[in-house]
Amino acid sequence: ASPLTDTPRLSVSFGASVHHDQVREGTNVSFECHVTANPPVSEVGWKYEQKALTNNVNNVFISDNTLVLSRVVRQDAGKYRCVAANAEGEGESADIQLKVLYAPVCRADQRTIYGVAKREPIQVPCDVEADPPQVTFRWSFNNSFEVIAVKNFIQTKTRSVATYAPRTKYGYGELYCWAKNKVGEQSEPCVFQVIPAGPPQPVRNCLVGNQSTDGLIVKCDAGEDGGLEQSFYLEIYQSDDGQLQSNWTSTKAPVFEVTGLPIATSFVLVLYAANPKGRSNYVTLTGASAKSPFKDEFTLGALRCRHNSLSSQGGPHSKTGSSTDVANAENARRCVQNGNISGAQSRPSLTNPFI
């Protein structure tokens, strides 16, 4: 470059009408890019968090050296910079930080259903996100007949915890939690259902795959949890003698990675869920481990079929070598040989066939 030419030198500032420390959701924000360049630049571009912005996309408008964000939301907060180029090269400004103030909103992924017995107190936490984070809370209870203010709660920063106990059958319903900061009160409350506590529902839609000579993976969908945290259990019995081969527990989801199975052996898999109020009905599957690492016409992995419980509600326990056991094994083989992947839906049972 000659003494009179150079790559662009850029700086960025908020527009004259923008009070950068008071930007709230729903307002318009403008930025100005200040360029010193010889030769002149042909165009100015903009980046948000290192990604190029496009004119007239979402709420972005670019005109000459100006960037306008229309009706900003909290997701627009972050670092902005302008970029430009001339015949001597490219230049970028330093970042400018946009902070967007917003009224409280419910934090995602909160527990929203609580099971409780009459007169049993529960603690229900309510978490919000807000900027500024200085918030106050209020709670209420709604049972479809009346709305009652809840006064028994505490607050720590952006979390409030209400203590509540249903005293009659009308004490079940919904707890509402609102938070408020200097921007305003949240438009929709955080909602928590208070239901009578009970045992969980059975797991459903169970599939088995990734078989090997000594292992398999069982995946099910969780049933309703009865309003309490639940755990999931898998018991594996040998079909020929009813002996318990292994048992497995999962606290997060009804997904089990089973290892250590004997080769070429038929099994019955018994699955159930449990919470502090009791256990669900049982769901049973019938299958076998692979004969070799390569292929077996009767494997739980190739099977992916769901079979009827070995016992029905109120029926006798299944016995080793019973006609029910043999019939289930034969149904499983027929399912694989016929290419019937969906199979028959398992029926939950009140009884474990091997207890």
pLDDT tens digits for range 26-83: 999 999 999 999 999 988 999 999 999 999 888 999 998 999 999 999 999 999 999 9
pLDDT tens digits for range 218-239: 999 999 888 889 999 999 998 8
pLDDT tens digits for range 5-17: 889 999 999 999 8
- Describe the chain by its helix, strand, coil percentages, rounded to 5: 5, 45, 50
CATH, domain range 204-337: 2.60.40.10
202 class by beta-carbon count within 10 Å (0-12 exposed, 13-18 middle, 19+ buried): buried
Q: How many CA atoms lie within 13 A of 235 on its CB side?
A: 15
Outline which parts of the chain fall under CATH 2.60.40.10: 7-100, 103-196, 204-337
Tell me the whole-structure pTM to 2 decimals.
Answer: 0.63
Q: Is the pLDDT of residue 144 over 70?
A: yes
What's CA 119's distance to the chain center, in Å? 31
Confirm if 78 and 65 have CB atoms less than 8 A apart: no
Whole-number Å distance between alpha carbons of 219 and 237: 18
Mean per-residue pLDDT for 273-290?
A: 86
Is the four-CA dihedral 221, 225, 231, 234 of positive or negative sign?
Answer: negative
CATH, domain range 7-100: 2.60.40.10
Q: How many CA atoms lie within 13 A of 94 on its CB side?
A: 5
| Per-residue pLDDT, 186 | 96
Whole-number Å distance between alpha carbons of 126 and 272: 31
Whole-number Å distance between alpha carbons of 197 and 114: 8
Say which DSSP state 76 is in: G
CATH 2.60.40.10 corresponds to the domain 103-196 = yes
